[in-house]
Structure 1
Amino acid sequence: MLYGNESISHYTRSNILIWMLMAFQAGVLNMGGFLACHRFVSHVTGFATFFGYEFTQRDRSHAWGMLIVPLFFLFGAMVSGYLVDIRLKLHKKPKYYIAYTFMLVLILITTVGGVLGWFGPFGAPLEEDPKGYLLLILLCFTCGIQNGTITSVSRSVVRTTHLTGITTDLGIGLIRIFNKGKLLPEHHEMIDNERKATYMRVGIITMFVMGSVFAGFVYPVAEYWGFLIPAFTTGILLVSMIYFQIINPRKKAAAAN
């Protein structure tokens, strides 16, 4: 992924490191959103459920908020699709560094905006302070870009901002492994790949949980400053991608000339 090569191996060391770091970051972002305004960030199913509940209430203003916010997760995935997925389909190098620049800028805006009071007091429920919707919009937009990028480059094998799909894949994979003896020999290679995927899925779930636990200790103390943690992890990957996708190829081209 760092090199922008469309024929990547799913389980190279650098890819696994990126996926685990992104899962940790997603856990931090989700905990930050939950503690800031009592809503999970990348849980689109939850937004749909809240919309259904709020729509049955006399005051439906929050229902429209619950409907609008997840659209920015969709917009984020579309931005990623344009920068990564479409370029892969056209056999061009995906522009990971631009996607991660968007993410970094959005997280920094979230941090600064929170400190300046754009989203209301940290920990105030949306019912008390609707300004928290802007926070959710920024975080959903960020998670949409992140999830779309990782999903595209892993050919839909990996999702890092939510665990429902990857837990489903883990369950199916475990059953395949447990029943290897019942399968035909031509399926055994698939089972070997399934073992690698299982380790990866367990790792992603673990890192997401670790990010949530870590954030659970940090945000009550740091409040909006806690969003500097995902800004830092995104920044590390952004610098790495700029080096491997832009600087290093130019060095090689200059040396070849």
Structure 2
Amino acid sequence: MFEHRLTDSPSRKTWFEWFLLAFLAGNVNVGGWMACHRFVSHVTGFATLAGVAAEESRWLEMLGALAIPFFFLGGVVLAALLTESERYARGYRYAPVMLLVAALLLLVAWGGHVGYFGTFGWEARMEHDFILLAALCGACGLQNAAITSASGATVRTTHLTGITTDLGLGIVRWWRKHRRHADDEAAEARGTFLRVGTILSFTAGGFVGAFVYAEWEYAGFLLPSMLAIYSATSATVESRAAKERG
């Protein structure tokens, strides 16, 4: 998963694991929404929420909404510090990032279980949900940065706006190259397949998550945490195999 790029003709296992991360992100996103009525896999909405809170003179809510995106950014920065190091093989750089994702999700599951956060399903209030939102946004930032770095900025799994735009452009590029039998037609087809698969996987994560969180509430975050641990383990195994081969 973290040893391949789109130009490498990824294996079925790599495709599966890339799509698994999109599934994980969709799952976490719906978990954040069902827990406190906030989407956490992207930061766009928090700027809107800050503006609404300011108009209503809810200054604590405004400051909290402005602060939360920095935890997504912090996750990205931390992931970059770990993954851009040249001291370790590629897979070994990404395993710690995914373990941090798992740790944050386990923190959310535990904190919700012991009642540290607000009642599951109530609308977010910064006085009791700030850490919840920060942890979930941080986890999404870590994961998105890891797969973006590993894939050469061709795979992003935590939000769909950009990838949907890329899909529309990619379909047109693929069709034109297909008509001309261009040499890079296969690469464009792989890109289109990646974007479609990412969108479907993110959506599937949301569908499955809706049922999981409705039944398990905060304990539902155990599912994406286990997926993150699997990704970390897979990255380590791949790196060892690559080292033995060469």
TM-score between both structures, scaled by the size of structure 1 = 0.86
Deviations 1:190-228 (A, max 9, x none): 333111111111011001001101111111110001001
Partner of 1:108: 106
Partner of 2:230: 236
Task: Answer whether contact 1:5 1:93 (CA < 8 A) is retained.
Answer: no
Segment drifting more, 109-118 vs 232-241? 232-241
Where structure 2 has 5 or more consecutive residues not aligned to the other structure, the ranges are: none
Q: 2:97 aligns with which of 96, 99, 105?
A: 99
- State how 1:21-32 maps to structure 2 within 5 Å: 21-32=20-31
Could you say which structure has the greater relative contact order, defined with CA pairs below 8 angstroms and 6 or more residues apart?
2
Post-superposition offset of 1:43: 2.1
Cα gap change, 1:5 to 1:28, in 2 (>3 Å): closer
TM-score between both structures, scaled by the size of structure 2 = 0.90
d(CA) in 1 for partners of 2:155 and 2:128? 33
Where structure 1 has 5 or more consecutive residues not aligned to the other structure, the ranges are: none
- State how 1:62-101 maps to structure 2 within 5 Å: 62-84=61-83, 86-87=84-85, 90=86, 93-94=89-90, 95-101=93-99
Q: 1:217 aligns with which of 189, 205, 211?
A: 211
Cα gap change, 1:45 to 1:5, in 2 (>3 Å): closer
Identity across aligned pairs (percent)? Answer: 37
Task: Answer whether contact 1:6 1:93 (CA < 8 A) is retained.
Answer: no
- Matched length: 244
Q: 1:245 aligns with which of 231, 236, 239?
A: 239
Partner of 1:138: 135
Deviations 1:50-89 (A, max 9, x none): 12222222222111111111101000011111111x23xx
Partner of 2:170: 173
Larger CA Rg, structure 1 vs 2 = 1
Secondary structure of the 1:189 match is coil
d(CA) in 2 for partners of 1:181 and 1:32? 41
Task: Answer whether contact 2:4 2:10 (CA < 8 A) is retained.
Answer: no
Segment drifting more, 208-217 vs 5-14? 5-14
d(CA) in 2 for partners of 1:189 and 1:238? 35
Post-superposition offset of 1:242: 2.8
Report the RMSD for the aligned CA atoms in angstroms. Answer: 2.5
Segment drifting more, 31-40 vs 16-25? 16-25
Q: 1:199 aligns with which of 193, 205, 213?
A: 193
Q: Which amino acid aligns with 1:39?
A: R
Secondary structure of the 2:120 match is coil
